[in-house]
Structure 1
């Protein structure tokens, strides 16, 4: 068995969950962490024996680091990913993959040339919630899927986030922030998207920070804060997506899929589990037990899935860069459509990853025999 060394770039709030997941796996060593705030990096390293706080250049040059976990802000995703690939490291990043589809293509091309892998959040869709719903769809229980609805509505993040500025600047907004969860789930359930049409707007031109030392300060809004999209999927299904910072709260199920013979109510794709409900004419609405997915999982499971796939005969990893690039293209195409481009074709056609077999936490947490993680380099 070969242990896998992980280096983390960016140790903000989201890194805590990732580190809990990675350190629970017996085959992973978190070798080093780096952050623009060196004191924060040292604090995180002190909490994890065997982990060193270093600068980014030192982390990338460390031969003990096999995989770079990129948890920087979205505008830095491309730069950090390309630097890691240039150093011969596999990369797993937070969503979105990059700020632009062009940047995503550069990252994927560099990884292909270097013989390394790129993975990207969200990996929430690998949990028992979305995967169990997908198992129902693939079993034919509801017949051929014809449509889906996905909805996420909130009043915005400024009420609780002490530094919400980036949510309302270029690269932010509800679509790029929350859209990846819902769109990735829809691709798992219905396949790639071929065309989109969108409409967007914003309720006001500034927001008021509601907490922290800047409470009461006004933040300018530069992006659409309500987006609705119509998505055409390759197999013929049509889905509708609404994401908004301009509402209260929705009581609708986060995702519903409808078919010729029934419907599936899918739990929140921003979480890993939740009840899957199915409607059929003979049984009405009923809860189905989890039949697929990583049980008890949390952020970081996508990186572990990628690591397990590295090496001869390992196959494809599920939270792939190609899928993340497709979702990014869908989102930017929706915004282009909303600005007057009409019905916009989506060029990318990622391979939908295989269904995750139902996997107990004890199984995915345990050290797994695998080849040397650098075998593809």
Structure 2
């Protein structure tokens, strides 16, 4: 508290640009070091950012002026890098998911507790004004007791634009693991933890054709479900229907709707931080949908606001994008995959408290 959180980033891929844009607008977070398996990428970051040094991963983990490691490596490396950072006594903030499996994620959290360091994880989109305004409406009783929710993400597949889409089509990929963290984290933020799930999946094609870049026209084999549907049974009794697909041509909206006894809410696309929250209440149903004024959340937030939230959280208080929330979200998704394989309902082993709401900030 009172001093900028000094960040060292491991993994200097495309997503880093969004974090850098956010950091440039924050007083509480400062990037000091960058590392990548390709040294040229780390050097490019250092050349473009004043006060940033290009280091090897080992040098970054040993650096005394790095308080937290921003882990932007590929998902398969998330746990390995996180464990190394924790062993070096650093806090960790990672891109989603927390790890490739709940077994790996549990190791990270256990090691962090033993080392007395913090673990946090994206997505932090739930801290923006979109989801937080919707949460305030629910918490204020605007729609009565929540009964159900729908969460939908439909696309024809990332191979149409991504030059190297292979990892989307192997186990650990697919639409659920790629985009599910945004939607499941939002559902848990709005409605609380999930007790059990029932899932089903399908695979429309066994190969995908790369549509852009130097590999355009090359075939990519598909070995995971590319359309996943699930019902999430929240501890509160609310039921959420989740649809994640790389097999649909188009959708009118990739958003979430929450339905309660007294009204319904449209929650904006959880891949973004802002957007209109709309409500239709039983007593004003004839008036149709109306937009709610922004009433909660970090204004003008971007990727990395979770680090600022961590930096501003007093000692002893739970930061909002913490590892326990990310673990529960991963556990829910892993349980959905298990259910699609068995055809039976699966109990989610973990639980978590809803993070503290974000006042209008």
Partner of 1:257: 258
Contact 1:129 1:273 in 2 (8 A): yes
| Aligned residue pairs, count | 357
Query: Which moved further from structure 2: 281-290 or 92-101?
Result: 281-290
Contact 1:7 1:67 in 2 (8 A): yes
Distance in structure 2 (CA, Å) of the matches to 1:18 and 1:242: 28
Partner of 2:298: 294
Contact 2:168 2:174 in 1 (8 A): yes
Q: Where does the alignment leave 5 or more consecutive residues of structure 2 unmatched?
A: none
Partner of 1:123: 124
Residue 253 and residue 213 in structure 1: after superposition, are their counterparts in 2 closer, same or farther (change >3 A)?
closer
Contact 1:175 1:331 in 2 (8 A): yes
Over residues 186-222 of structure 1, what are the superposed CA-to-partner deviations in whole Å (9 max), with x where a residue is unaligned? 0011100000000001100000000000000000001
Over residues 264-297 of structure 1, what are the superposed CA-to-partner deviations in whole Å (9 max), with x where a residue is unaligned? 0100000000000001123331110111100100
Which 4+ residue blocks in structure 1 deviate beyond 3 angstroms?
A: none
- Check if 1:324 corresponds to 2:346: no
Partner of 1:364: none
SS for the counterpart of 1:290 is coil
- Alignment RMSD (CA, Å): 1.0
- Check if 1:193 corresponds to 2:194: yes
Distance in structure 2 (CA, Å) of the matches to 1:64 and 1:326: 32
SS for the counterpart of 2:307 is helix
Over residues 140-197 of structure 1, what are the superposed CA-to-partner deviations in whole Å (9 max), with x where a residue is unaligned? 0110000000000000000100011111112110000000000000001110000000
Partner of 1:2: 3
Distance in structure 2 (CA, Å) of the matches to 1:28 and 1:128: 20
Equivalent position to 1:305, from 302, 306, 309 = 309
Over residues 9-67 of structure 1, what are the superposed CA-to-partner deviations in whole Å (9 max), with x where a residue is unaligned? 00100001111212322233211000011111101110001101110000000010001
Partner of 2:239: 238
Distance in structure 1 (CA, Å) of the matches to 2:174 and 2:302: 24
TM-score (norm 1): 0.93
TM-score (norm 2): 0.97
- Check if 1:336 corresponds to 2:341: no
Distance in structure 1 (CA, Å) of the matches to 2:255 and 2:4: 38
Partner of 2:173: 172
